[in-house]
Amino acid sequence: MKLKAYAKLNLSLAITGTRPDGMHELDMLMQSISLADELTIRPAERTVLRCGGMAADESNTALRAARLFFEAAGRKGGAEITLKKHIPAQAGLGGGSSDAGAVLSALNRLYGMPLSMETMTALAVRIGADVPFFLHGGCMRAQGIGERLAPVQNECKFSYLLVKPEGGVPTGPAYAKYHELPAIMPDVGKAAKALARGDRAAYFAAAGNSLLPAGKALCPQVGAILREMKAYGADFSMMTGSGSCVFAVFSDAEKEAKAFAAFAERYPFCARAADTDRASMEETE
């Protein structure tokens, strides 16, 4: 089975509290986008993951997803997984989480659907807060630690310019830094209603990212890119997740093209993307 595992953007992200176990309570708008990793998965006698031609270690989320699947399903055997990365790491684009969600979904199909969605979601939470979203995709409001999901109609139909500087932002340090800095609390409910109405201006006014101050502190280029996006005429720009990728929305195609050309010359990752309605997609041979 060949499939694409799509990245995500956080169209808004609020940290609403901290649980006794140290995990953060979140309220997020998450949107699948067309940027994707490529996976090939085949049944095998044992589970092995190769990424860039090299065997991956046990910390890889796709490999962890496969191990958890076979443990929960009580199945012998395994899977041979080949992963081709296009989603940059430490970007806030959910690349590792997307790979994990795609592996869980694909293995469940390949082995006759032995696991319910409830069980799959429980496994996904064990891998990471974003992973439950990647069992569904589209546009969702994710609350709790990411496991409480509700579909959101996104009628804004954005296209995005994505720019990631060389530096990344690891998730753990970003959340630790968050507690040292003044808080940003976006109105996620208002942003969700604006998306459903297709009201771009209202979405831009309501959206935000509680982790932005931490991202800028840990990777100063994030702030520089945001300022440059504004200078190039973006209607809106924001850091996604814990960063360091910044996305921007333009209403003027010519301004977007100029910005893309300029950023592509100076930053290691620059891409265009659009909304998708799924987390992964099987490709025909």
pLDDT in tens, 190-210: 999 999 999 999 999 999 999
Of the candidates 18, 144, 19, 131, the residue with the CA atom closest to the CA atom of residue 69 = 131
Active-site position among 4, 8, 164, 177:
8
Q: How confident is the model at residue 13 (pLDDT cuts 50, 70, 90)?
A: very high
Task: Give kind and range of the element (H or E) at residue 262.
Answer: helix 253-266
Q: How confident is the model at residue 104 (pLDDT cuts 50, 70, 90)?
A: very high
> What does the pLDDT average to over 209-232?
97
- Both tokens assigned to 45: 């006698």
From the list 27, 37, 130, 275, the catalytic residue is 130
Task: For the chain, give the number of residues.
Answer: 285
- What fold is seen in the domain 2-152? Ribosomal Protein S5; domain 2 (3.30.230)
Q: How many CB atoms lie within 10 A of CB 159?
A: 14
Q: pLDDT above 90 covers what percent of the chain?
A: 89
Q: Quick count: other Cβ atoms within 10 Å of Cβ 231?
A: 10
User: What's the whole-number mean pLDDT along residues 17-42?
Assistant: 94
3-state secondary structure of 233: coil
Question: Per residue in 126-156, pLDDT tens?
Answer: 999 899 999 999 999 999 988 899 999 999 9
Domain 159-274 falls under CATH 2.60.40.10: no
Q: Residue 22 — pLDDT band, cuts 50, 70, 90?
A: confident
d(CA 85, CA 83): 6
- Cβ–Cβ < 8 Å for 126, 120: no
Interatomic CA distance for residues 223 and 226, integer angstroms: 5
Residues at the binding site are: 88-98
pLDDT tens-digit readout, 230-282: 999 999 999 999 999 999 999 999 999 999 999 999 999 999 999 999 999 98
**Average predicted confidence (pLDDT) for the chain:** 95
Question: Is residue 130 annotated as a catalytic residue, yes or no?
Answer: yes
pLDDT tens digits, one per residue of 59-84 = 899 999 999 999 999 988 899 999 99
What is the band of 107 on the pLDDT scale with cuts at 50, 70, 90?
A: very high
Residue ranges for the known binding site for ATP are 88-98
pTM over 0.75: yes
CA end-to-end distance (rounded Å), the chain: 8
Is the predicted pLDDT of residue 285 greater than 60, yes or no? no
Active site residue 157: no
DSSP per-residue string spanning 102-156: HHHHHHHHHTT--S-HHHHHHHHHHH-TTGGGGGT-SEEEEEETTTEEEE----S
Q: Which of 119, 107, 36 is nearest to 67 (CA)?
A: 107
User: Where do the DSSP E strands lie in 45-110?
Assistant: 48-51, 54-55, 78-84
pLDDT score of 54? 64
pLDDT of residue 183: 86
Q: What are phi and psi of 119, to 5 degrees?
A: -65, -40
For residue 53, the model assigns a pLDDT of 66
Q: What average pLDDT does this structure show over 9-35?
A: 94
Residues 6+ apart with CB under 8 A from 42: 1, 79, 80
**In the chain, domain spans:** 2-152, 159-274
Q: Residue 37: its pLDDT value, please?
A: 97
Tracing tokens 């869980």 back to the chain, one arrives at 104
